[in-house]
């Protein structure tokens, strides 16, 4: 499934956040969004999902405007991983992941056996299968984040939109998540994720989109787009882009 943003202007009813955003994400493609805090990444994501009304331009799923689809239809096509919030209710991890399957069922239906299998598979894929029956309010922030990601995986949507999915994760789990992203893309899903780590963009992204003040500053392959000049311009810090001996590209800030 292909998503296209055409001249999208987005923001809140009382405040415009961004405009002139045009991009597409093809199946199997990973697009990374980078930009300073407050540049509008989360707002853009919410607009892509139909949670906020676009203030101009349009969002097209497989060529059809977003508004043509019902919520369930949108959810069957796009899965959302928001920045983790604290739910006040002590659902188990499995319960929460099962909720990801709601869009695939009728309004009155409960989880099927297949739903349960997919949910457990998603939890296992992310390495948290043993947390299935634990109360999510007792988990750490990072574990909760993994549960949310597992939910998006279980949703089995052709496009995933992830808002800083590694934000609260420890080093090991960051790798787990990014590995999962690559795996999902390899299986044919499109993934849009925002991150604050240029390294992650270099590691998983097919394309990168740099944003500032609600506008796209640059877009393209990571190696071309994330130059040290661009990053310094956007983030205000000096960096050095280097290739490691194992062939990976890393972005090292120049402290001092």
Partner 1 sequence: MKADRTFWIVPLLVLLTVVAAAVGLRTGAYPLTLDGAINALGQLWSGGVAQTAEERVLLDIRGPRVLAGLLVGAALAGAGVVYQGLFRNPLVSPDVLGVSAGAGLGAVIGIFLSLPALMIQVLAFTIGLATVALVYLIAVAVRGRDPTLVLVLGGVVVGALAGAAISLLKILADPYDQLPAITFWLLGSLASIRGTELWNVLPAVLLGLLPMVLLRWQVNVLSLGDEEAKALGVEAGRLRAIIIAAATLMTASVVAIAGVIGWVGLVIPHIARMLVGPNFERLLPAAMLIGASYLVLVDTLARSMARIEVPLGILTAVVGAPFFLWLLWRGRHGWS
Contact residues: partner 1, CB under 8 A: 12, 46, 49-51, 70-76, 78-80, 82, 85, 87-92, 95, 99-100, 102-103, 105, 107-111, 133, 135, 137, 155
Q: Which is nearer to partner 1, 149 or 234 (CB)?
A: 149
Whether residue 168 contacts residue 178, with contact meaning beta carbons closer than 8 Å, is answered with no
Smallest distance, partner 1 to C-beta of residue 5, A: 17
Closest to partner 1 by CB, 133 vs 245, is: 133
Residue 81 or 210: the one with the smaller Cβ distance to partner 1 is 81
Contacts of residue 39, defined as CB under 8 A and 6 or more positions apart, other chains included, come to 18, 211, 212, 213, 214
Q: Is 16 helix (H, G, I), strand (E, B) or coil?
A: strand
Min CB(217)–partner 1 separation in Å: 27
Pick the closer one to partner 1 by CB: 26 or 95: 95
CB 132 within 8 A of CB 93: yes
- For the bound state, the minimum distance from the C-beta of residue 23 to partner 1, rounded and expressed in Å, comes to 20
**Distance (Å) of CA 167 to CA 14, 48, 86, 154, 191:** 28, 21, 15, 21, 17
Closest approach of partner 1 to the CB of residue 103, in Å: 3
Which residue do the tokens 């499109």 mark?
A: 190
Please identify, using beta-carbon distances, which residue of 105 and 187 lies nearer to partner 1: 105
Q: How far is the CB of 96 from partner 1 (least distance, A)?
A: 8
Q: Residue 213 half-sphere exposure, CB side, CA atoms within 13 Å?
A: 3
């Amino acid at each position: 499934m292909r998503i296209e943003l055409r001249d999208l202007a987005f923001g809140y009813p009382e405040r415009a956040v961004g405009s002139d955003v045009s991009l597409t994400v093809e199946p199997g493609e990973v697009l990374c969004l980078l930009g300073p805090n407050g540049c509008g990444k989360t707002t853009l994501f919410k607009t892509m999902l139909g949670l906020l009304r676009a203030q101009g331009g349009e969002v097209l799923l497989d060529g059809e405007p977003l508004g043509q689809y019902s919520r369930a239809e949108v959810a069957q096509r796009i899965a959302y991983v928001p920045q983790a919030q604290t739910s006040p209710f002590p659902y188990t991890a499995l319960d929460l992941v099962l909720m990801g399957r709601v869009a695939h069922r009728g309004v009155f239906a409960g989880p099927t056996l297949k739903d349960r299998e997919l949910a457990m598979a998603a939890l296992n894929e992310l390495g948290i299968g043993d947390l299935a029956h634990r109360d999510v309010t007792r988990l750490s922030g990072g574990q909760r984040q993994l549960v949310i990601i597992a939910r998006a995986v279980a949703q089995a949507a052709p496009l995933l939109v992830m808002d800083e999915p590694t934000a609260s994760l420890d080093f090991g789990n960051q790798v787990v998540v990014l590995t999962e992203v690559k795996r999902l893309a390899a299986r044919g899903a499109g993934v849009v994720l925002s991150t604050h780590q240029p390294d992650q963009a270099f590691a998983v992204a097919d394309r990168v989109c740099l944003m500032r003040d609600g506008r796209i500053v640059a877009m393209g392959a990571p190696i071309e787009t994330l130059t040290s000049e661009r990053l310094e311009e956007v983030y205000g810090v000096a960096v050095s882009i280097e290739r490691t001996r194992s062939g990976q590209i890393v972005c090292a800030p120049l402290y001092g």
